[in-house]
Amino acid sequence: MHKLTLKELSAQLQARKISATELATLFLDRIAASDLNAFLHVDRDLTLAQAKAADVRLAGNDAGPLTGVPIAHKDIFVTRNWRTTAGSRMLQDYVSPFDATVVEQFNAAGTVTLGKLNCDEFAMGSSNENSFYGAVKNPWDKTAIPGGSSGGSAAAVAARLAPAATATDTGGSIRQPASLCGVTGIKPTYGSVSRYGMIAFASSLDQGGPIAKTAEDCGLLLNAMTGFDERDSTSLQRPKEDFTRSLNQSLQGLRIGVPKEFFGAGLAADVEAAVRAALAEFEKLGATLVEISLPKTELSIPVYYVIAPAEASSNLSRFDGVRYGHRAADYKDLADMYKKSRAEGFGDEVKRRILVGSYVLSHGYYDAYYLQAQKIRRLIAEDFQRALAGENRQCDVIMGPVSPTVAWDLGDKTDDPVANYLADIFTLSTSLAGLPGMSIPCGFGQGEKNGKRPVGLQIIGNYFDEARLLNVAHQFQQATDWHLREPA
């Protein structure tokens, strides 16, 4: 039963072939037996109480497609009655008095919460090694990283500790771990999913999305997650839509843009081989490949690592030991309390980004760094629009690798933060432009020591083109079985 997709589990629940309580118990037992460190907080009683409530709904006329389905939430979404730590010592014992909008939406849909998932501290990282609570292990190879920052979400779905999970993507934190763990994940258009109750890292970039086994599952989850929220100033006023409406459309005539910048130096041969094979499969399905150029791709790393730390510096100033979060036990005065609380509460990577952000926003450097980065960000977005929009558009979707390599070994890059940053080269530009992008499994590469590790194919679309992306991904998954492969 744990191997079924979310869609299949929903059908089993609706047909009363299994109860929500039985299903929740099955996954809770799997979580308890796992050694991946994917979960930070599990409360069996809370989960089973939600499952019993779902069973009441299933027995009546109040059940929807997600009623009784178990999911887990990245520990960046505040959740009433559950600890919400953002992977940080700063929020070690924090329990929110309210639910994030995303959590509210899933509760309203009748889902059952399995627990809170590990992540890089304040979502800052590409390997999930920055969590105060220890690294998550990749279920395909426990000596490898799962990707980040949503490593707990991707690992939990890959290991079937949960059929689906919420995640967030600031610079690739849904797509990259989905790729490295061999699951499906989608980052929707910026503003589609409410950020209310999502602990902020970089406000102009953060976006919630789902990770699941299939594109169809991700569509069902997006149906619940999206929608206007007046409590989020960046939330877009758009009508609700069914993201699964186009899943079965033919790909005949689809034009796939293949950016030459995504296939240059730095891309591992095993990753390129898997991605090229996936592109050939799309040609068999009726699509046409078109070489395009996204010339500002290489600038996405310096631009992102100016803008994101600047916004983090501002957002994380609230964690000062006064209202909530860690407070130093011994201090002389208020200023000393601030300094010691923040020094003790934040990890090295978070401190690094706060310092960088404070520097680029400081007097005399704002124009030289932050303002210039925002100008180049606009140019990056215009590269995508030349390819995807207007009468002279070159393609319907863009495809390429998600990550330059397969998952690396735990500890390999912990002493080299820049090496971690470079791993985001293919995902950052999509986030900077606010476009939707997703990762689907497309093969395996050779791990350095212990055999095969997953490779993901990235699919990028124009604004609000999620339904098309899911259609493209679904048709590939109907023709291949990479998404059905599971770790031993």
Under the banding of pLDDT at 50, 70 and 90, the label for residue 447 is low
What pLDDT shows up at residue 449? 52
Q: Are strands 207-212 and 184-187 parallel, antiparallel or unpaired?
A: antiparallel
Give the tens place of pLDDT for each residue, 254-296. 999 999 999 987 899 999 999 999 999 999 999 999 999 999 9
**What are the phi and psi torsion angles at 168 (to 5°)?**
-135, 155
Quote the CA–CA distance of 404 and 244 in Å, as a whole number. 30
Average pLDDT over residues 122-148: 97
Under the banding of pLDDT at 50, 70 and 90, the label for residue 390 is confident
Does the pLDDT of residue 322 top 70, yes or no? Answer: yes
Average pLDDT over residues 242-249: 98
Average pLDDT over residues 19-26: 98
Which single residue is written with the structure tokens 């929110």? Answer: 96
Whether 289 and 258 have beta carbons less than 8 Å apart is answered as yes
Give the tens place of pLDDT for each residue, 163-183. 999 999 999 999 999 999 999
What pLDDT shows up at residue 451? 61
Under the banding of pLDDT at 50, 70 and 90, the label for residue 1 is confident
- pTM as predicted: 0.97
Q: What average pLDDT is seen over the chain?
A: 96
Does the pLDDT of residue 157 top 60, yes or no? Answer: yes
Average pLDDT over residues 411-427: 91
Which of 454, 435, 436, 434 lies closest to 444, judged by CA? 454
Under the banding of pLDDT at 50, 70 and 90, the label for residue 450 is low
Which residues are catalytically annotated? Answer: 74, 149, 173
CA dihedral 22, 24, 27, 33 (to 10 degrees): -90
What pLDDT shows up at residue 156? 98
Which of 319, 264, 282, 241 lies closest to 85, judged by CA? 319
What pLDDT shows up at residue 446? 78
What pLDDT shows up at residue 246? 97
3-state secondary structure string, the chain?
Answer: CCCCCHHHHHHHHHCCCCCHHHHHHHHHHHHHHCCCCCEEECCHHHHHHHHHHHHHHHHCCCCCCCCCCEEEEECCECCCCCECCCCCHHHCCCECCCCCHHHHHHHHHCCEEEEEECCCHHHCCCCCCCCCCCCCCECCECCECCCCCCHHHHHHHHCCCCCEEEEEECCCCCHHHHHHHCCEEEECCCCCECCCCECCCCCCCCEEEEEECCHHHHHHHHHHHECCCCCCCCCCCCCCCCCCCCCCCCCCCCEEEEEHHHHCCCCCHHHHHHHHHHHHHHHHCCCEEEEECCCCHHHHHHHHHHHHHHHHHHHHHHCCCCCCCCCCCCCCCHHHHHHHHHHHHCCHHHHHHHHHHHHHHCCCCHHHHHHHHHHHHHHHHHHHHHHHCCCCCCCCEEEEECCCCCCCECCCCCCCHHHHHHCCCCCHHHHHHCCCEEEEEEEEEEECCCEEEEEEEEEECCCCCHHHHHHHHHHHHHHCCHHHCCCC
Under the banding of pLDDT at 50, 70 and 90, the label for residue 23 is very high
Average pLDDT over residues 199-208: 98
Does the pLDDT of residue 420 top 90, yes or no? Answer: no
Quote the CA–CA distance of 354 and 369 in Å, as a whole number. 15
